[in-house]
Structure 1
Amino acid sequence: MSALKIILLSTAFNGLTQRVWLDLREAGYRPSVVLFTDPDSVCQQIEDSGADLVICPFLKDRVPQRLWRNPRRPVVIIHPGIVGDRGASALDWALMRQPERWGVTALQAVEEMDAGPVWATCEFHLPEGLRKSELYNGPVSDAAIQCVREVVQKYLNGFTPVPLDYSRREVVGRLQPNMTQDDRTFSWHDNSAFIKRCIDAADGQPGVLASLAGGQFYVYDAHLDVRRGVPGNLLAVRDDAVLVATGDASLWIGSLRLKPQSGEQTFKRPARHVLAQRLAGVPVLDGSLARQPFSDEPYQPIRYRECGHVGELTFECYNGAMSTEQCQRLVAALRWAKTRDTEVLLIRGGRGSFCNGVHLNVIQAAADPGLEAWANIQAIDDVCLELFSARQLVVSGLTGNAGAGGVMLALAADIVLARRDIVLNPHYATMGLYGSEYWTYSLPRAVGPDRAYALTQDCLPVSATQALRYGMVQEIGPRCPDEFGLWLLQRANSALLDPAYESLRVRKAERSLSAIQACRDGELAQMRRDMVDNRHGFAEKCHRFVFKHRACRTPQRLVAPWARAERVQPVQ
């Protein structure tokens, strides 16, 4: 094992930071994490740790001078832009301008942000039609991993980073201003593709401010449609989304955030929930599979197709969150799919995350958040039960990252297949929850009771490779989403006869629904105490998550043993 001591300095332990942490561990290192709180505390933690190298996968804060001026301990920023690109809105501008190629650059921290010498760079073709979170968690994340690997190897080889030189022809990036709402603005009279690009470039944060139904809202989660109407008018409602007419067609808008007034805080919610009373008289479209099983509608949060003896059900949950109503719609879709004359049921995610469990934003907005959480957890349990009770052999496709109940939902299937390099968080305790979704049945069944206990108590991310070793997943497919989709369907088609899956087919035949129900009953007894009685602070943790409060300190679980050295106390 390498003795190199690497600190990951990050604003949050987000998906990319988790992936870097996991990748370094796979390579034999034991990275430690420091979450940015205040400059003095951060400097003290890093100096006391004796770290050799500091890498910043996701840092919104300026590196303190006290850190970057130390020549013996480089601080390397992972910037989501090509060489020469500078500024906090790198991905926003890239999506708005759509260059053919984009990239990630690893550069040393200096006084001027993003202007330091270059350690590594990795470029990629910029696909069209991605929203910012997809770009960040896909091509940017892949390129960032390559840069981190290169930085570590170059550090070990004594590499001296190359100063940024704008006179060189290959340095095409430039300093970009922080993107403002004026830069993002659109009119509903503009064409749909332009409006969607504006919304995609502001995905996650901050959203694009627009007038809608007589109010001012930040809009998110846009999908093209062909219907027409008076630009800006609401044409229809389907599930949680509203259809807005544009200059040439229309767009489905899945999520909104009310513009705050006089210092109040607002947060993102399903569009239908936010508009509520403003939707009187707007037609409601039925998107259920029972009514439209093989629809060619361009926007379908739940869609179904058949290939041979496989029925493939795809569900989309924006940012991985699944509300009570979304769960109920998925239950209805599964019940319909189970009546089909198929032998394999493939359930898979769509764009972005696979699933992260209950919808904390909808819970926070409820009149009684505890009761809404209680309803939500029972509804997602119902989804899992439909998988357990299916006549068909059930295959789940982990198309993206998953956490908490989303991991357990996938494990309710008979066979679990994962896209390469996704990250799983199979735990609940950081939210003050015991957990449900039949985890006390499915997780020990997959990995054994001892490892199941460790996974839920350690509260650490798991890579797809680890999940394969542990038995949580049976195979890993291609990283490319399109290639993974094809591979997933092929593997589902062969699942009935593949000798590698024989033990899983036998296990399905021997399952006990009464034992499964007993696990659910035990979990819900604990979850009622957590969600309704708030015994472990779920209400406060939910509030902090929804309003994006920053960490007050770095959790001890993320601090490597070598970085925990006690400060030397002065002799009195």
Structure 2
Amino acid sequence: MKILLISTAFSGLTQRFYTELNDAGYEVSVELHLGDEAQLLEGVQLFQPNLILCPFLTKRLPATIYQHYPCLIVHPGIKGDRGPASLDWAIQQGEKEWGVTLLAAADEMDSGAIWASKTFPLRPATKSSVFNREVTQAAVECLWEALTYFDAPNFQPEPLEYSKPGIKGQLRPQMKQSERKLDWKKHKTDDILGHIHAADGCPGVLDEMFGQPFYLFNAHKETQLSGKPGEIIAMTDQAICRATVDGAIWIGHLKPKLADGKGIKLPATQALRDCWPKPQSGLQSWLSKPIKTLEIDYTQPGRQLPCQEVWYELLGEAAYLYFPFHNGAMSTAQCRRLLSVYRHLATLNVKAIVLMGGEDTWSNGIHLNHIEAADDPADESWQNINAMDDLIYQIITTLDKLTLAAISGNAGAGGAILAVAPDKVVVRDGVIFNPHYKNMGELYGSEYWTYLLPKRVGQTAATQLTEQRLPISAKKAWQLGLVDKVLDKQHSIFTAQVKHLVDTYVGNPAELQRLLTDKANTRCIDEISKPLAAYRKFELTQMYANFYTDNAYHAARQCFVYKKPLTKTPDNLAKHRLDSFVKPASPGGMVHFVWQDSYALGDEKIDREHKDFFELAEKLLSSPHKLTLLETLSELQQHVKAHFAEEESLMYRTGFHSTKSHAKEHELMLEQLLAITAKIEHDNWQAQDLQEFIGKWAQHIQHSDMAFNSHWKEMNVYCL
């Protein structure tokens, strides 16, 4: 069965649908609805789906599509609810129960026949949190219910008839800022929280501070402080506290409203950096009440302030480390703060450190908004990625304690690699992983991923994950070996299961000691084979080029930060638009041959031969005719025979510990070279064969040769 996902963006719920259907064996493709109806219709006609699902739409689906194909639309509201701001209204008006409806596309928005509907208690939480948890899970349940009906001959969807007692929803308009407006002198704390929660993510609540308009996000209730309603009465290094008529709230993030629409959401104190009033003197200084600056002692257990982003708790012989950074982004300062707390935990008399992350989002890696707002985005990018590397290095090298990641929210890019750095990785069912970087302007990525990913899933799977740039489910991650256990989908049950699992580990001293001994031995062997410093240097060499010599990353980051819409569906999502032939891998990939200075050994002859090999590989990939291919292969064979012999001789002379296995790799590669030559001679080859052949050679260069590279430098450079 062919299912096409049509969505405004390939984000949370769309990715969940994609992974659910893909895991179940459906043929799934994606077409983004970007406003070009002709382009959208073309995509549908190319794929010819049996069913179209629309998990997230902000634009109307053309009638020419739903009149010819069965189309089901996810609406985040109860039966009968209609309109583009369903969840906003429900949260702001304090509904106790809400739901999700899966309905057929129709001429009037959200008025089609109902295929499935689920309800849930509406938590007092942000719109993003409710959507990521309850809405997403209810939508998935609706999806599978509808699929059971799809081929049932007698199934009839339920028409939307408001006269029926079960239809309790209504048509609601788009919510305007005038309807979100805060009155600090009248609204109570809970009302203000409801308004800000209802606008979380997008669009935020428009308010004014120091005469400047800002959108408010990430609010938390304060239980101790109070002051004149509307005034800022306290601040931390990130958040500000504003008084209400019956208490106060913390505001974590602000986004300035600018004429060009290019305001950037940032921590409140950073967003207000140029707005603070100048210090008063004389009588005015006595009349004005100073803003308290509250210092957080991160070495103490517990969450001292509602806005606190990093804290830990001690339970038995384990430390649980929480870091619910807003939207999962981790700035340089946040990485360093988290590292500082982690190092503190490493000094405590505990047997396990459990990284809990955030409940709704585990981590998404470096903080693109912070980077975009920096005076020098390239320098800030460099500092941010190094801060992430420092954190992950500390986790990898913690040898006297069991480390465990408990992943309850989605993880992407460097955050997905952070998730697999600990010894054990457990994940909540329903979590989505995006362990890749290339969507952000062909970023190569760091965080020791070239060590951690292949170590868990193998080189082939690591290549596929990073090159295909597609999300995977928690269950798929377990099947690949990326995680160790998949636990319950309910957050409360998941947390209880994690704590029980940790108690089981630390409560068995013999088994715990065995795990720690095995970890220390493996780390020692891995370090001898290839030092962590070598992985980091190689990755950062690529990242340095991304940050300082190539504009693709900076352009992609700006599009992300300023929400610039795409012009077409990315090729890796729209499988129906792919050509039948295999295109060369894009630069920066693990299967692409591009000479890097980090490959240099320091021996002029060997380095020259390596560079020649890269040139021959590129020539091979671009050879258009059989005769040219065979000539290039012959030249390559002569070149590598001489090079392999000289390289092996150098290995023996310098006492390289993996000489025999390296020589065996050389022997196998020569056999592969002969095999691909024979296939081409007999016209029994495809473009993909050549890609795979070159890809295997690339892996040898990037891993086996780099291991010898490190050994040679140790023997001939660092020991001098």
Query: Please, what TM-score do these two structures have when normalized by structure 1?
Result: 0.93
Asked if 1:147 corresponds to 2:142, the answer is yes
Structure whose alpha-carbon radius of gyration is higher = 2
CA distance in 1, matches of 2:191, 2:414: 36
Distance 2:231 2:472 in 1: 45
Letter in 2 for 1:379: A
Change (3 A) 1:31 1:103: same
Amino acid in the other structure paired with 2:432: V
Cα deviation code 1:10-60 (max 9, x no counterpart): 001011001001111122202111011211110121023211111100011
Structure 2 residue 140 is the aligned partner of structure 1 residue 131: no
Structure 1 294/557 Cα, relative in aligned 2: closer, same or farther at 3 Å? closer
Aligned partners of 2:401 and 2:516 also within 8 Å? no
**Of 54, 57, 62, which aligns to 2:55?**
57
Q: Point out where structure 1 has 5 or more consecutive residues left out of the alignment.
A: 567-572
| SS of the residue 1:179 aligns to | coil
Equivalent residue number for residue 423 of structure 1? 432
Match for residue 570 of structure 1?
none
Which residue is 1:508 aligned to? 519
- Alpha-carbon offset, residue 368 of structure 1: 1.2
Query: Residue 517 of structure 1 corresponds to which residue in structure 2?
Result: 533
Alpha-carbon distance in structure 2 between the residues aligned to 1:275 and 1:205: 20
1:541 counterpart = 2:585 = no
Distance change in 2, residues 1:465/1:503 (3 Å): farther
Residue 337 (structure 2) aligns with: 329
1:367 and 2:375 aligned: yes
Counterpart residue number, 1:489: 499
The reply to whether residue 188 of structure 1 matches residue 184 of structure 2 is yes
- The RMSD of aligned alpha carbons is 1.9
The answer for the alignment partner of 1:376 in structure 2 is 384
1:99 paired with 2:115, answer no
**Whole-angstrom distance in 1 between the partners of 2:515 and 2:148:** 41
Find the aligned partners of 2:557 and 2:367 in 1 and give their Cα distance. Answer: 10
Change in 2 beyond 3 A, CA 1:26/1:57: same
Give deviations 1:533-557, integer Å, cap 9, x for gaps: 226x000000011111222111221
Q: 1:347 aligns with which of 343, 355, 360?
A: 355
Q: Aligned equivalents of 2:511 and 2:474: distance in 1?
A: 19
SS in 2 for 1:223: strand
Name 1:413's counterpart in structure 2. Answer: 422
Taking the aligned partners of 2:196 and 2:306, their CA distance within structure 1 comes to 18
Residue 12, structure 1, aligned to residue 27, structure 2: no
Look up the SS of the partner of 1:429 in the other structure: coil
> What pairs with 1:123-522 in structure 2 (closer than 5 Å)?
123-127=119-123, 129-158=124-153, 159-189=155-185, 190-226=187-223, 227-261=225-259, 263-279=260-276, 282-290=291-299, 292-294=300-302, 296-390=304-398, 391-431=400-440, 432-496=442-506, 497=508, 505-510=516-521, 511-512=523-524, 515-522=531-538
What residue identity is the alignment partner of 1:299? C
Ranges in structure 2 where 5+ consecutive residues have no aligned partner:
278-289, 581-720
Given the alignment, which residue of 83, 89, 105 partners 1:109?
105
Structure 1, 199-208 or 37-46: larger mean CA deviation: 37-46
Shift of 1:277: 3.4
Q: Secondary structure at the match of 2:9?
A: coil
Task: Give 1:508 deviation, angstroms.
Answer: 1.8
Contact 2:328/2:358 (<8 A) preserved: no
1:560, distance to aligned residue in structure 2 (A): 3.5
Paired with 1:376 and 1:565, the residues of 2 have a C-alpha distance of 38
* Offset, 1:213: 3.2
SS at match of 2:446: coil
Alpha-carbon spacing, 1:210–1:395, altered in 2? closer, same or farther (3 Å): same
Relative to structure 1, the CA distance from residue 517 to residue 144 in structure 2 (aligned partners, 3 Å threshold; closer, same or farther) is: same
Which amino acid letter does the alignment assign opposite residue 402 of structure 2?
L
The percentage of aligned residue pairs carrying the same residue is 37
Which structure has greater helix proportion?
Answer: 2
Instruction: Tell me the amino acid that sits aligned with residue 7 of structure 1.
Output: L
State the TM-score, normalized to the length of structure 2: 0.75
C-alpha change, 1:449 and 1:325, in structure 2 (3 Å) is same
d(CA) in 1 for partners of 2:247, 2:411: 34
**Aligned residue-pair number:** 556
* Separation in 2, partners of 1:17, 1:332: 36
Contact 1:355-1:403 within 8 A present in 2 as well: yes
| Alignment deviations for residues 130-161 of structure 1 (CA, whole Å, 9 cap, x no partner) | 10011111110001111111222212214332
Deviation (angstroms), 1:382: 1.2
1:157 aligned counterpart, secondary structure: coil
SS at match of 1:276: coil
CA distance in 1, matches of 2:144, 2:458: 33
Structure 1 residue 264, shift from structure 2 partner: 3.9
Residue aligned with 1:542, SS: helix
Q: Return 506-515 or 95-104, whichever deviates more.
A: 506-515
1:133 to 1:295, Cα distance in 2 relative to 1, 3 A: closer
2:393, 2:333 → 1: CA distance? 16
Aligned mates of 1:175, 1:16 — CA distance in 2 = 23
Shift of 1:204: 0.4
Q: Measure, in 2, the Cα distance between the counterparts of 1:285 and 1:499.
A: 45
Using the TM superposition, give the Cα deviation of residue 87 of structure 1 relative to its aligned residue in structure 2, in angstroms: 0.1
CA-CA distance at 1:411 after TM superposition: 1.2
1:69 — aligned with what? 67
SS at match of 1:311: strand
**Which whole-Å CA distance do the structure 2 matches of 1:201 and 1:546 have between them?**
21
Output the CA distance in 2 between the equivalents of 1:397 and 1:405: 16
Distance in 1 separating the partners of 2:579 and 2:147: 23
Distance 2:364 2:391 in 1: 14
**1:266-298 CA distance string (max 9 Å, x none):** 1211111100133476433222423x4445433
